Amino acid sequence: MDVRILLQEEGFLVVDKPAGLPSQATPDPSRRHLIPAVHALLGETLPLTLVHRLDADTSGLLVLCADPSLNGWFTDLFRERRAHKTYRAMVGLPPCVSAQDLPEMMDDHLAPVPGSKPKKMQVVRAGGQRAHTSVRVLEHWPRCLTLHLEPRTGRTHQLRVQLASRNYPILGDRLYGQRERSAPFAPRLMLHAERLRFPHPSGTGEVDVMSAAPEVFLADYLRA
């Protein structure tokens, strides 16, 4: 699956990033990342700036600023949490827990695991940065749940860490996932940024874009 442009307006684009494509350049210069992929799709080189990020293994919606005069506006938009993001996730359901144990609000403080490479985060009792996420169960299957997630903060690996710390690891998460035999195997990280809403930079109206979850989220074997 390649990157798709879902909305292109003067000054910005909303793109649908596939899983496996990094949002930004990596230490490996041969590895393709988002902005060159978008340039290739457009057939021209625009002054694109990434104003927020998704983990490489997460798919879904991202905004790219295409007008340098709007960079500050978009930076403030996301820093002030005036852009609303929702995600779809599939999480493992180990025998020791149930869907009823999952809170409607996850409120934690996160901090890096010292010395971890690649960078890994953890829930801490003191210090760190607050991470706040609302949760709704969409589907309940024998070995997994499909969740609607709305992060109210934007911390590194926020959704992955908060769910794993509660014994609901996102399927396919090789960094935080728990190797439960009862959880179905997933070929990728089952996390998708499916909706993005924010005020239009013109000051009139709202941008509201949705991306359907990839077909792998509908695989029958995950629900068996």
Give the active site residues: 55
Phi–psi pair at 198, nearest 5 degrees: -160, 155
**CB of 113 within 8 A of CB of 122?**
yes
Segments of the chain assigned E as strands: 4-9, 12-17, 49-50, 59-65, 84-92, 105-112, 121-123, 129-140, 144-151, 191-199, 206-210
Alpha carbon of 146 to those of 24, 56, 178, 218: distances in Å?
28, 21, 17, 10
Phi–psi pair at 223, nearest 5 degrees: -100, 0
Phi–psi pair at 195, nearest 5 degrees: -145, 145
Alpha carbon of 150 to those of 22, 168, 207: distances in Å?
22, 16, 17
| Residue linked to tokens 């090789």 | 174
Q: How far apart are CA 39 and CA 102, in angstroms?
A: 42
The reply to whether omega before 18 is within 30° of 0 (cis) is no
